[in-house]
Structure 1
Amino acid sequence: MGINLKIFVICHGEEDLKNRCLKVIGYPDVRIKEDPLRIIRAVRFNLMYGLKFDETLKKAMVANRFLLSKLTVAKIKSELAKIDNYKVDQAQKEKLFAQFAIANLVGVIK
Structure 2
Amino acid sequence: MAVKDFILASSSPQRRALLTQIGYEPKQIRPVDIDESELLDELPLPYIRRIARAKALTAAKLNPGENVLCADTIIVVGQKIIRKSPDAEAQRKVMKLLSG
Give the TM-score range, shorter chain: under 0.3
State the TM-score, normalized to the length of structure 1. Answer: 0.23
Q: Which structure has the larger Rg? A: 2
Question: Whose strand proportion is higher, 1 or 2?
Answer: 2
Tell me the TM-score normalized by structure 2. Answer: 0.24
